[in-house]
Amino acid sequence: MVNVLQIGEVGTELSKLVNEVRDLHTQVVIEAEGKPVVAMVRYDYLANLLEALEDAIDSNLLKKAVASNDRFFSFEDVIDAHNKAHYTEVVVEDFTKI
């Protein structure tokens, strides 16, 4: 449920609004001159929403990177390059122990 209030109504209702948002999981939109300017939501709702947005952005960036890359490296190729660069003898099986 979303409650819409004018900015002048908020001062006397703030504690009640915070309790409603926290306890009843409501959302509050505060308007000034008939236009929304502030929203109140539970913090965990906001944190989850931001995390989901970041995941979506990361996923989109990954899709773009994959689409623009014409060469991929296998895990074995990466290990081989690492071994050559660092004069080591790492093998795939070393990573299956984790």
Residues of the chain with CATH 3.40.1620.10: 1-41
Whole-number Å distance between alpha carbons of 45 and 82 = 43
Q: Phi/psi at 18 (nearest 5 deg)?
A: -60, -45
Give the SS3 label for residue 90: coil
The rounded radius of gyration (Å) of the Cα atoms in the chain is: 26
Residue by residue, pLDDT tens for the chain (98 residues) are 667 777 777 777 888 888 999 999 999 998 988 899 999 999 999 999 999 999 999 888 888 877 887 777 888 888 899 899 999 898 888 777 65
DSSP 88: -
CATH number of 1-41: 3.40.1620.10
